[in-house]
Amino acid sequence: MFAARQTFNLFQKRAFSASASQASKVAVLGAAGGIGQPLSLLLKLNPRVSELALYDIRGGPGVAADLSHINTNSTVTGYNPDAAGLKECLEGSEIILIPAGVPRKPGMTRDDLFNTNASIVRDLAKAAADAAPKAHVLVIANPVNSTVPIVSEVYKSKGVYDPKRLFGVTTLDVVRASRFISEVQKTDPANEKVTVVGGHSGVTIVPLLSQSNHASISGETRDTLVNRIQFGGDEVVKAKDGAGSATLSMAMAGARFAESLLRAAQGEKGVVEPTFVESPLYKDQGVDFFASKVELGPNGVEKILPVGEVNEYEQKLIDTCLVDLKKNIQKGVDFVKANP
């Protein structure tokens, strides 16, 4: 309890002085799962994390005991799978990652996970809003297009919503885009930066290849590549054959996003990550959340960057994306209204 409070005080101080303490408590909810475990491992290896707080409805303390033997300075605590454990896990957290939820099986869409995961995310959001209302919340649980609006509605209902601190993690789409384009072009993925906008499922994932190093990609090569980026998740679901979806690549992507937020919180300027946030970009078309490049700062979203110039083909992809995205967002909002 005392330790948790102490970390919070340090974080409070840093809000005023970026160069002060580097202490950061990071909580993972769903820490014993397929994503939760490797994500927690990567966070244990991150020197910017001083305290790692792990919660799961089963297995949290075991994962924590295991990770706590790794010889990096951070402390690791696994909390009891009850309301008191969850509260203690959350208190003082600067970042809360939520990979808690059921993954897809072959033949399912991400939206098919809604019935199970909506209430899981809603309940965790309620606990987070009460225990750590100022933390950055990073939603990994699918369907991200709906679970992020669910968190925002919960926070609104509790009067603590700050749109600058709520993120849907879409980093994996960008990671895939960079890797897939490098495979086609026989280049080093480290040098491939592909902007991916929209949401995080199927046709709502919109890669903007015209803004990449390979703007001239066209025809069937382009179509195949765009399709692979949009449906990359399905490749893994199919290959795992009933055992779940992407976990290791997702852990890497989640850890990268958390690292970017910590870098920005700890005073680094110009940190840009693509992420699904409440966004003004398509509000005039009734779409309140949209993934685009976002500059991060000590308080979360510093600046939402414009989508930029797109070609006719990409504009069509965006138009298609917006139709689905609007419905997915509304579904999340309606869920919390009907099931507060």
Ligand X SMILES: O=C([O-])CC(=O)C(=O)O
Known binding positions: 30-36, 56, 104, 110, 117, 140-142, 176, 250
Buried (b) or exposed (e) across 9-18, using 16+ Cβ within 10 A? ebbeebeeee
Can you tell me which of 25, 104, 214, 293 binds ligand X, judged by CB under 6 A? 104
Say whether residue 254 binds ligand X (CB under 6 A): no
Joined together, the tokens standing for residue 265 give 């919180």
Q: Residue 95: which of ligand NAI, ligand X, none does it interact with, CB under 5 to 8 A by kind?
A: none
Which residue's CB is nearer to ligand X, number 194 or number 246? 246
Pairing of strands 75-78, 51-55: parallel
Secondary structure element (H or E) that encloses residue 154, with its range = helix 144-157
- Min separation Cβ 245 and ligand X, Å: 4
Dist CA 252 CA 286 (whole Å): 33
Can you tell me which of 14, 200, 214, 293 binds ligand NAI, judged by CB under 6 A? 200
The torsion angles phi and psi of 45, rounded to 5 degrees, stand at: -85, -5
- Min separation Cβ 119 and ligand NAI, Å: 8
The torsion angles phi and psi of 48, rounded to 5 degrees, stand at: -75, -15
Taking every pair of Cα atoms in the chain, the longest distance, rounded to a whole number of angstroms, is 61
Binding mask 145-184 for ligand NAI (x = CB under 6 A): ------------------------x--x------------
Joined together, the tokens standing for residue 207 give 């890669």
- Min separation Cβ 208 and ligand X, Å: 18
Q: Residue 237: which of ligand NAI, ligand X, none does it interact with, CB under 5 to 8 A by kind?
A: ligand X
Can you tell me which of 50, 210, 212, 245 binds ligand X, judged by CB under 6 A? 245
Residues that constitute the known binding site for substrate: 104, 110, 142, 176
Residues from 237 through 276 that contact ligand NAI (CB under 6 A): 244-247, 250
Q: Residue 18: which of ligand NAI, ligand X, none does it interact with, CB under 5 to 8 A by kind?
A: none
Strand segments, DSSP code E, in the chain are 25-29, 51-55, 75-78, 95-98, 136-139, 166-168, 195-198, 205-208, 271-278, 289-297, 300-304
197: helix, coil or strand? Answer: strand
Contact 254, 248 (CB under 8 A): no
Known active-site residue 200: yes
Task: Specify whether the backbone of 6 is left (phi greater than 0), alpha (psi in -120 to 50) or beta.
Answer: alpha
- Report how many residues bind ligand X under the rule CB under 6 A: 10
Residues marked as catalytic: 200
| Residues within the interface to ligand X (CB under 6 A) | 103-104, 110, 142, 172, 233, 236-237, 245-246
Task: List residues near ligand NAI by CB under 6 A.
Answer: 29-30, 32-36, 55-58, 99-104, 113, 117, 120, 124, 140-142, 144, 169, 172, 200, 244-247, 250
